[in-house]
Amino acid sequence: MTVSQSKTQGTPAAQSATELEYEGLWRVVVLNDPVNLMSYVVLVFKKVFGFDETTARKHMLEVHEQGRSVVWSGMREKAEAYAFTLQQWHLTTVLEQDDVR
């Protein structure tokens, strides 16, 4: 490796920090649907996120009354995993980039 290559490539830590800055935070959003029962949605939130009954019900009511609820926010890879898991439980779920910086 030449000196010029090492300067342009940077250290792995610097690259990771840059990648994290570029990716930012992502939100996992559950959307309302006419299929799932409210009790089922509460059960899924408790199982997937480990929410207590009160927190799970709060998010379920947001979905029911407002049409959506942000149930988790964080790094993209984890957000994608949560979204996939919720979709496997047949909840309508999308990812949104969190623009707050």
Residue 19 lies in a domain: no
Residue 14 lies in a domain: no
Residue 46 lies in a domain: yes
**Sheet with 68-74: strands ordered across:** 68-74, 25-31, 93-98
Query: 71 phi and psi, to 5 degrees?
Result: -95, -15
Residue 62 lies in a domain: yes
Q: Which domain holds residue 51?
A: 24-98
pLDDT at 61 over 70: yes
Report the distance separating Cα 98 and Cα 23, nearest Å: 10
Residue 12 lies in a domain: no
Please report, for the domain that includes residue 35, its CATH number.
3.30.1390.10
pTM for this entry: 0.76
Instruction: Please tell me the total count of domains within the chain.
Output: 1
Report the distance separating Cα 80 and Cα 54, nearest Å: 25
Residue 57 lies in a domain: yes
pLDDT at 100 over 70: no
Residue 89 lies in a domain: yes
